[in-house]
Chain A
């Protein structure tokens, strides 16, 4: 079970969190024209890298904040965690 550092609460066990997928995906702006292809990429396509991955976790049984976690998908090492509005490196 992962041990995730919530920037708001501190180190907490994985079972307090819900996984939220790739944190680098950016929602297209509202009221802007967008091609079918680009929209499909946003809605459906995600990379599944082996190694470093910046991903979202929701501290659902804690502070209810969405946080960003930089994690190695193969070793599960967590390098750094960020608040939702924090700039990532």
Chain B
């Protein structure tokens, strides 16, 4: 298609580079530097979407972040990207976009029937409709709402693009590179401050790109180019375009989203798609400018109605005409600048000015150019469905209440200007309570809440001279607080056209007998009648009106609608706007992709992966791994076609029969040192520690202050003032914090230090009847006999030249040892154990066999110590000292913890000796009892006992100690199973503990 609306001698796009792209299946051409919006408008395309509620045709309203409705879905590298503003997304070769919220197509949209059913879609229709009958919810109402809700469709495929995060620190962050941003950045940078200047558009300069002004004897564009070039060359300045500072958080932390590759056909090899910057700024200057306000009239949402500033920017920046028969509808001088630009490009506009007899330089200039102007005139309604074809215009009375001389005139676009709204979103996010400024009929920031200042038109300064002066001063003043360089640059002189007072009038009354929809919020389809209805129904607080009508919500955050909504509420309520107040602006200011927020913390990268030094050996020997917290542990070692069940049974059996070796590096290890270490352990653990001799280990249980078991493990006295504590894999970090808490805050008088040594030691548990024989071969120079190294003994030894530590402790219930060496020797140790162990039929075993072994021995682990059990429940009450005090002791005498029928751990065996009991099953007396069936407790862990070759489970049940021998039922509603069971002792194998001591 030809670009019928492209101007030849104006604009900043690269005419030498033609780019093709596809919109709704059709190919179009534009130039490098075009946005989707400018390229489509150049091709005369204005219909790009359908509105949210009524599915009315939607075109372009703005030219950047102000755009409320040209939201498209983008396809790039076979990825779908919803929520793309056509006014921000630059085109690239091969770009594919399509409209959203329409079916089957944007031209013929079934949902548009809503437009004719609009009496059924009043404010709050979600709350009023879909209420009855209740049975309609799941099958009819909900699917309908789900289909109708939201813009676009997110891809369900994995996003292959890379997103990055970056942390940056600076003296001064400046948000926006318009005249105030440039001037303040320049003044601050010259004064030695470290400055970040962020611009959301591809081009720097803001309003200078489109305004007819002169700074220091240069045009606005020349001046901005000069300043940017100089800033870029300075080492203390970071200048970023396509970068939106979207959130202002606590303690001057701002977050900026940089679109690095969104405008390129393919992400470059070493570049991410987007980068999220976390910026901690000592000071912030908010120079985010202002957004033109719409005027409200009938059908003001018709494609072709747009902001006059947008029309001007399409001409000056993109060389594109939004129409060839423009109607300018304004209440201030800004509309004239657009009209003059049309005229300069050979198009004759008609200006309708709501004011009676305004006069200013710019109005005179328009008159001199021969532009037709009608004063005290308004647009009553736009005509045309998919594009403006004409407009009903009328003379308005001096009191702005009555319309007369209504006539229809032909036009193909209506450029509106209802004056300007400062973008105070960031200031509001920082906590700044804004104040209403009568002069500009808008809110401006009040007192700074954090270290932030707002400058330029965002602060209600609408003349360039004021803006430049304020920005240079602020840039110097703020930077000098930090650098104290006193280096002040001179302020250039500014030449601009003087404008006159705007009209406070903004909403055109309806002519008699007409019921045109007059829209306030274009994104959320909120019309004047919706606000009126909400107020009639009794909503008063502006925050309630917002939520009931959806005014100013969603991705738009009320950029164009907020003030008109407030004006309307205050008009109806006979209040002034400041009495109504405004709603809170929330981050993000513009939509941010989830990918950017997540960054590289995706999948396995969402947390660190910890591997033991023996990991490679496990991999080579067909280990199947399981996540244990952030550790990867072998679950079982697969031989041939073995299943998990077969392999773990084989491994566990081999431990009971011969000898097995298990990687226990992941256990938490904490060094406890100091003259008061014994006293400290005595307070931390429930059992007694003062008399533990050097060279001996002891099993201990620690509680939280509420009496619940926190962790268990063995601690060994290495020397007089040195203990080696082990914790469970999962609780290692918590236990260290817990110990530090008590040492630093509760008992600082104790002379003890703790430090994690988890990663310093590699550990191998050697378990089984052959383990001593194996140890004798591994440590020929050390006495590892039952007398030389008794149960719970500890020895330092020499493993083929490597210093190692042997702890005679057992989790499997077999004769067992744990050997530790420094991590770097872990693999050496492991390979030696396997090599020497061959003649004793050694096999490595994983966590599944480890569980089997501990379950049938009745040893408790995380599934029993689940944050709900006290020592008694886990049959650990024998370890609770009655003589001494310790953390959590007082809680154990609370009534619930001392009830006679308190839960206790038991063993559970199915009567048929074949049906495995699902973990989590309830234990009940009567499986047919009326629901909710009173449960006695739950099954915490299940295994296949290799000792007896039948299923065995542990359960924690009410009055457990008196239940042994009873026939009960295990019920699993999840697995739909009811299994008759017998309650037995939790110590299913070797209850006297002969093996570990043998």
Contacts and interface: CB of A to CB of B under 8 A. Distances in A.
Contacts of A65: 740, 744
A13 B431 contact: no
B280 interface: yes
A18 B737 contact: yes
B745 interface: yes
Contact of B278 (A1, A20, A43): A1
Contacts of A30: 683, 885
A39 B741 contact: no
A31 B744 CA distance: 20
Contacts of A78: 251
Interface string A18-56: 101000000110110010100100111000000000001
B250 interface: yes
Contact of B891 (A2, A43, A64, A85): A43
A43 B740 contact: no
Nearest to A26: B746
A58 interface: yes
A58 B737 contact: yes
B688 to A, nearest CB: 14
A3 interface: yes
A58 B250 contact: no
B748 A85 contact: yes
Given A18-B737, A31-B885, A2 B748 contact: no
Interface residues of A, number: 27
A64 B740 contact: yes
A56 B745 contact: yes
Interface in B217-262: 249-253
Contact of A1 (B249, B891, B894): B249
A43 B705 contact: yes
B627 interface: no
Given A13-B280, A43-B891, A20 B252 contact: no
B251 A34 contact: no
A76 B737 contact: no
A23 to B, nearest CB: 8
Contacts of A1: 249-251, 253, 278
Contact of A76 (B251, B744, B745): B251
A68 to B, nearest CB: 9
B252 A66 contact: no
A27 B449 CA distance: 37
Interface in B885-914: 885, 890-891, 894
Nearest to B736: A64
Nearest to B895: A36
B365 interface: no
Interface residues of B, number: 25
B706 A84 contact: no
A75 B167 CA distance: 24
Contacts of A31: 884-885
B871 to A, nearest CB: 17
Contacts of A28: 890
Contacts of B431: 75
Contacts of B253: 1, 3, 13
A11 B775 CA distance: 52
Nearest to B884: A31
Contact of A3 (B280, B706, B744, B890): B280
Contacts of A39: 890-891, 894
B197 to A, nearest CB: 22
B705 A60 contact: no
Contacts of B449: 75
A5 to B, nearest CB: 10
Contacts of A13: 167, 253, 280
Given A39-B891, A43-B705, A84 B250 contact: no
Nearest to B250: A76
Nearest to A56: B745
Given A1-B278, A66-B740, A43 B706 contact: yes
A58 B167 CA distance: 22
Contact of B740 (A42, A58, A75, A76): A58
B110 to A, nearest CB: 46
Nearest to B741: A66
A42 B894 CA distance: 14
A82 B35 CA distance: 54
Given A1-B249, A3-B253, A66 B745 contact: yes
A66 B746 CA distance: 11
B741 A20 contact: yes
Contacts of A43: 705-706, 891
B748 A84 contact: yes
Interface in B720-770: 737, 740-741, 744-746, 748
Contacts of A20: 741
Contacts of B252: 3
A2 B250 contact: yes
A66 B252 CA distance: 24
Contact of B705 (A34, A36, A42, A58): A42
A53 to B, nearest CB: 15
Given A3-B253, A3-B280, A27 B746 contact: yes
B741 A58 contact: yes
B883 to A, nearest CB: 10
A2 B253 CA distance: 8
A74 to B, nearest CB: 10
Nearest to A32: B885
Contacts of A2: 250-251
B758 to A, nearest CB: 14
B754 to A, nearest CB: 9
Q: Which of A3, A36, A43 has the most CB of B within 10 A?
A: A43
A66 B891 CA distance: 25
Contacts of B705: 27, 42-43
A84 B741 CA distance: 10
A70 B706 CA distance: 27
A60 to B, nearest CB: 7
Nearest to B742: A27
A34 B890 contact: yes
A56 to B, nearest CB: 7
Nearest to A65: B744
Q: Top 10 nearest A-B pairs by Cβ distance?
A: A3-B251, A30-B885, A84-B744, A31-B885, A76-B250, A66-B744, A1-B253, A39-B890, A27-B746, A43-B705
20 contacts: A1-B250, A1-B253, A1-B278, A2-B250, A2-B251, A3-B280, A13-B167, A18-B737, A27-B705, A28-B890, A31-B884, A31-B885, A39-B891, A56-B745, A58-B741, A66-B744, A66-B745, A76-B250, A84-B745, A85-B744
